[in-house]
Amino acid sequence: MARRRQAVTIKHVAADAGVSLQTVSRVVNKEPGVRPEMMARVQASIDALGYVPSIAAQRMGGSRSYLILALNDRERTIADWRARQGTDWIDQMLFGGMLTCAEHGYRLIVELVDTHSDHIERELLAAIAALQPDGVILTPPHSANPLIIDLLAEHGISFARIGSLTDGPGIRLIMDDTRAATIATEHLIALGHTRIGFIAGPAEYELSAWRVDGWGAAMQAAGLTTDDLLAVGDFGYPSGRAAAEALFALPDRPTAIIASNDQMTLATLDLARERRLTVPDDLSLISFDDTPIIRLAHPPLTAIVQPIAEVTARAVNLIIADLGDGPKSDAPVTVPALLTIRQSTCPPAGG
């Protein structure tokens, strides 16, 4: 196999168009200060020869790498892949992220990084050194990790933080978890529920607290108590089951439960079935996350739809804008989440 070289380089284009390398470069990068006729001539050669710049060479020349890294939690991601339970977080990130990257000539590379690791710094530095990405998208829990945030800032890499509002550098995007929880709670209140339990996610994730807040706010606004109605899980199925057990054991059992993710909701659904509680007649159920598993449950579950694809697309756009020299804003971006009503919610029995 012959050593692979670029088939057609900027040199070929320059020769073909009878101009200098620099002029071709200017046209390729849409830099100002090229006469239209010159531009047309160069562009014609580019098209004729099918020239596409090498991103490796572009990077070497001191320009962008046209690479954006999507950093995800290694342990959780691999667990999801292994379980094959339909968790489609990564898919939706690719959906929104890849396609938006492509629009701008960028590529998205998925990278897994350990959360609870002391070599997290080394891993990240290695990825940065090897790939030299122009931007990084951080997902929870990385998006709240000061070590990562500071590292990226020091390296002058544009980055977006999805699902974190802690202060610090980086573009912040959230899916309006508080509002989503409020909407879900209000939906149940409107149906006539007064005892609405909530299963929170782990404190490690900022959004866990936001969701609790949204639930609490709606409850309070309706003059309902939340005193004994909060249980905490870790997003895993067993923890959801334990939380549901605690809520079921209350003297005045809740007639509705909102759980902070699909696995915990499913655990609640399964436990309800074992206890001979019919959903939704005896127990209304709302899930956060709208993974396929929720849609295919019996009954299909009313759920908060997380707009992961959209938020990722926004993140990419903001990173690329940040790379340019337009005006920047550091206000957090909020992408609204929606409540999709299916068949797991109805008025309480005897309500």
Partner DNA sequence: GTGAAAGCGCTAACAA
Partner DNA sequence: TTGTTAGCGCTTTCAC
**Residue nearer to a copy of itself on the CB measure, 60 or 221:** 60
- The tokens of 19 are what? 């101009």
Structure tokens at 8: 């057609």
Which residues, numbered 5-24, are part of the site for DNA (CB under 7 A)?
Answer: 5-6, 9-11, 18-24
Q: Quick check: 82 binds DNA (CB under 7 A)? A: no
Nearer Cβ to DNA (20/117): 20
Select 2 or 331, whichever has its Cβ closest to DNA.
Answer: 2
First-to-last alpha carbon distance for the chain, in angstroms, is: 76
Q: Is 125 in the site for DNA (CB under 7 A)?
A: no
Binds 28: which of a copy of itself, DNA, none (CB < 5-8 Å by kind): DNA
Token pair for residue 204?
Answer: 């490690």
Distance CA 242, CA 271 (A): 9
Q: How far apart are CA 37 and CA 53, in angstroms?
A: 22
Q: How many residues bind a copy of itself (CB under 8 A)?
A: 60
Q: Which is nearer to a copy of itself, 125 or 203 (CB)?
A: 125
SS3 assignment, position 14: helix
Residues in region 4-43 near a copy of itself by CB under 8 A: 4-8
Give the closest residue to 258 by CA, choosing from 309, 308, 193, 205: 193
Smallest distance, DNA to C-beta of residue 16, A: 12
What are the residues whose beta carbons fall under 8 Å from the beta carbon of 16, sequence distance 6 or more? 45, 48, 49
User: Using CB distances below 5 to 8 A depending on partner kind, what does residue 25 bind out of a copy of itself, DNA, none?
Assistant: DNA
User: Based on CB atoms, which residue is closest to a copy of itself, 56 or 147?
Assistant: 56
Contact 193, 255 (CB under 8 A): yes
Contacts (CB under 8 A) with a copy of itself, residues 102-161: 102, 107, 109-110, 112, 122, 125-126, 129-132, 155-157
Measured distance CA(56)–CA(156) in Å, rounded: 19
Told to check if 84 binds a copy of itself by CB under 8 A, we report yes
> Does 88 help bind a copy of itself (rule: CB under 8 A)?
yes
Going by C-beta distance under 8 Å and a sequence separation of 6 or more, which residues neighbour residue 73? 112, 113, 114, 115, 139, 140, 141, 142
| Torsion angle of C-alpha atoms 50, 56, 61, 65, degrees rounded to 10 | 100
User: Which of these segments, 60-68, 161-169, 184-192, 209-217, binds a copy of itself (CB under 8 A)?
Assistant: 60-68
Position 65 contacts DNA (CB under 7 A): no
Calculate ∠ Cα 299-302-305, nearest 5°. Answer: 135
Binding-site member from 86, 192, 202, 299 for a copy of itself (CB under 8 A): 86
41-60 footprint of DNA as x/- string (CB under 7 A): ----------x-xx--xx-x
Site of interaction with DNA (CB under 7 A): 3, 5-6, 9-11, 18-26, 28-29, 33-35, 38-39, 51, 53-54, 57-58, 60-63
